[in-house]
Copies of this chain bind each other. A is one copy, B any other.
């Protein structure tokens, strides 16, 4: 690669829409590819998983990127900090503090404390993220999709809601089904109740085992893109969708009207990387999310969900694994190449292929 100085206006700009741990690992490859190209990277990160608990504002997807790209993530668990300890959480349990189902490591808590104090001081989430990046030096620009809260909630069926352990039914939620009254549980043991819970509660507490009926990106309609998001998309030479969960990682980003509109108008090609190989999610529980929307868990199903540009969707290109080589997406070019992100070098080649850049 050239060592010549590249003029500012000749620098290649890459934008990645991402969320989850798979997205963070994909960014390792993007960063590596960008270094080879002298390109700049902006990651627009999902905030739908964000939540407040124990008074702390927690941004799991932003933190996964910080820790993974900053060299501070736990390699075994895949989430959270390396060398993590759990003293605070054990103490919170001794205080019977709820929720008790969300794992908060001591090192991780320091990040949340820092974020919370900066937010309380009046900084916006994008500014807080920039400050946290001073420590982690991720080597890319990290932007939350929005400074406004957008939280993913899941409408679930709760069997026998009144008797379900640990679940407090809001009266209006029970009433919404019209099937279970105040004494319904005792007299109608097979009755069901709707309950809208935070994505994290569904994901972590219930291990995605409660059948989801709907995902709500609460606040998305009114959310403004964070400062820099629209400019990054506008200026981009390549826009990539990480192989993240299309429903709950990419979904909340795409649900912000300003971002969706800017993507529709983007001059750069938009390339998606399938998170599904041979009908199974590479990581996580995308299958359960897709099922809730009636979408086939396949490269074709997710490709059709995201859609081709000019056909109501956003994809110009759709990268699928060779096992899914037959995939067709109307309005998008389908490219088959191995998609297993076995290490950073392999991932960077996926990224180069996604941008149509020849590599050995």
Q: Which residues of A come within 8 Å of B, CB atoms? A: 54-56, 84-85, 87-92, 94-97, 106-107, 109-111, 113-114, 116-117, 120, 132, 134-135
Contact = CB atoms under 8 A, between A and B. Distances in A.
B110 A88 contact: yes
A110 B94 CA distance: 10
A90 B55 CA distance: 21
A69 to B, nearest CB: 16
Contacts of A85: 85, 87, 106
Contact of A88 (B97, B106, B116, B132): B106
B107 A95 contact: no
A54 to B, nearest CB: 5
Contact of A55 (B88, B94, B96, B117): B117
Contacts of A132: 95
16 contacts: A55-B55, A56-B113, A84-B87, A85-B87, A85-B106, A87-B106, A88-B106, A88-B110, A91-B107, A92-B114, A94-B135, A95-B135, A96-B134, A97-B114, A106-B106, A109-B109
| Chain A interface SS verdict (over half) | helix
B92 A107 contact: no
A216 B94 CA distance: 37
A88 B56 CA distance: 14
Nearest to A97: B114
A197 to B, nearest CB: 19
A290 to B, nearest CB: 36
Given A88-B113, A89-B110, 5 more contacts: A54-B117, A85-B85, A88-B107, A90-B110, A96-B134
Contacts of A110: 87-92, 94-95, 97
Q: Taking each of A54, A106, A132, which has the highest tally of chain B beta carbons within 10 Å of its own beta carbon? A: A106
A94 B110 CA distance: 10
A338 B92 CA distance: 41
The 4 closest A-B pairs by CB, nearest first: A91-B110, A87-B106, A55-B117, A88-B110
A92 B107 CA distance: 9
A135 B96 contact: yes
Nearest to A95: B114
A87 B107 contact: yes
Contacts of A88: 88, 106-107, 109-110, 113
A265 B234 CA distance: 75
Q: Taking each of A88, A89, A135, which has the highest tally of chain B beta carbons within 10 Å of its own beta carbon? A: A88
Contacts of A109: 88, 109
A350 to B, nearest CB: 32
B55 A120 contact: yes
A134 B97 CA distance: 12
Contacts of A90: 110
